[in-house]
Amino acid sequence: MGAYHELRAWAESMAGPGSSLPARDSWQLAVLDPATARRAAVLILLGERAAMPQDRAVPPSAARGPARTADHGDLDLLFVMRAGSLNHHPGQVAFPGGAIDEDDLDETAAALREAQEETGLDPHGVEVLGGLPEIGLPVSNFLVTPVLGWWAEQSAVHAVDTAESELVFRAPVSALLDPGRRRTAVVRRNGLTSRTPAFILPEAVVWGFTAMLLESMFEGPGWPRPGDAGREIPAPL
């Protein structure tokens, strides 16, 4: 059937009432306050690696739409590495995204706007497969809507504002599903312990909220489980 159709079917199944993304108990050492929580959106963007532009000079039209029959092993995901000087989640790997502004039409518009501002991608080349259920990010008191996208007309990306993002990169799905790259990240603080999935990439370790979304995205369409989670590492705070 191909990864595109698997992802679209999963996104459609998550649009129904009562759907939710799995959240681990005590995965963050903080409590979400629904009364004051801010709303945000992130873009989970998958594209075919063969269509990836090599530099900023390549126009979007040069990277024609990926085949809808591509296997998940032929894809990659777009990430940003947050600047180390930020107050929240400094130096961590994340999906492009941020707070929803009053001018944003909806969560999808916010996710695409933030992705363009952070990575320079052309949002017109992104086919939105669907919005996923909102999930809490307690440590920074956000309610986050993940937006699942397919990079139909790819454009070159880079860190637009290094005060916000130190690095923009694309990671192969095959690497994220490699059992040898899978760990569990552990944070111990004030007598409490938090554990999240973790994925070791050449650029950095993906862990925390982003890794939880990754795990849900892999499990949702029934892709192979991303390896052994029994090996623990200290979270790279």
pLDDT single digits (tens) 209-218: 999 999 999 9
pTM of the model: 0.90
pLDDT of residue 226: 64
Q: Write down the CATH number for the domain with range 3-172.
A: 3.90.79.10
Mean pLDDT, rounded, for 179-194 = 88
pLDDT at 58 over 60: no
**Helical residues (DSSP H) of the chain, grouped into ranges:** 3-13, 107-119, 173-176, 208-219
Mean pLDDT, rounded, for 176-204 = 90
**Helical residues (DSSP H) of 95-207, grouped into ranges:** 107-119, 173-176
Q: Are 135 and 51 in contact (CB under 8 A)?
A: no
Of residues 210, 202, 207, 213, the one with CA closest to residue 229: 207
Distance from CA of residue 154 to its chain's centroid? 17
Structure confidence at residue 227 as a pLDDT band (50, 70, 90): low
Q: Are 141 and 32 in contact (CB under 8 A)?
A: yes
